[in-house]
């Protein structure tokens, strides 16, 4: 059962910054990802996810911002971006993300996207 448009979830998304070395290794032009990430926020808010908040970070910066966001309120769901999951070198980082969400916000649902283009589909899988 997906959420109706009148009751959209509060959603965090965590992913790599567009200029992260792993992104640069995956795509020929990281500026395309930068534009997609910026458009993602606009599209999600236009789709009724007014409480859609990105956290763009890599293992080098740590999970401090994610921790702060999880402590400030309950989030219905978190989308873990494909860039984190698609890089084998980042598997420990992804596990740290999941562990952090489970510890600080155990009722927050975790979903995954396949690219910045399908965040709305991922958010629709979040259950209250």
The CATH number of the domain holding residue 73 is: 3.40.50
**Total structural domains within the chain:** 1
Residue with tokens 């740590």: 62
The first and second tokens of residue 99, run together, are 């562990």
pLDDT at 127: 77
Write down how long the chain is.
Answer: 128
Handedness of CA 72, 112, 8, 117 (dihedral sign): positive
Range of the domain at 41: 5-124
**pLDDT by residue (tens digit) across 64-109?**
999 999 999 999 999 999 999 988 999 999 999 999 999 999 999 9
Torsion sign across C-alpha atoms 125, 31, 84, 73: negative
- pLDDT 10s digits, 11-70: 999 999 999 999 988 888 989 989 999 999 999 999 999 899 999 999 999 999 999 999
Distance CA 113, CA 116 (A): 7
What is d(CA 52, CA 58) in angstroms, rounded to the nearest whole number? 19
Q: Say yes or no to pLDDT of 1 above 90.
A: no
Question: pTM for this structure?
Answer: 0.90
DSSP track, 57-88: --TTT-SHHHHHHHHHS--SEEEEPHHHHH-G
């Amino acid at each position: 059962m997906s959420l109706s448009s009148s009751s959209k979830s509060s959603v965090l998304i965590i992913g790599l910054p567009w200029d992260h070395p792993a992104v640069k290794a995956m795509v020929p032009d990281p500026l395309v990802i930068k534009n997609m990430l910026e458009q993602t926020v606009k599209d999600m808010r236009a789709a009724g996810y007014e409480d859609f908040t990105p956290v763009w970070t890599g293992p080098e910066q740590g999970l401090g911002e994610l921790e702060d966001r999880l402590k400030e309120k309950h989030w219905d769901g978190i989308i873990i971006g494909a860039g984190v999951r698609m890089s084998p070198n980042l598997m420990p980082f992804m596990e740290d993300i999941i562990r952090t969400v489970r510890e600080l916000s155990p009722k927050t649902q975790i979903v995954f996207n396949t690219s910045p283009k399908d965040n709305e589909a991922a958010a629709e899988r979040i259950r209250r």
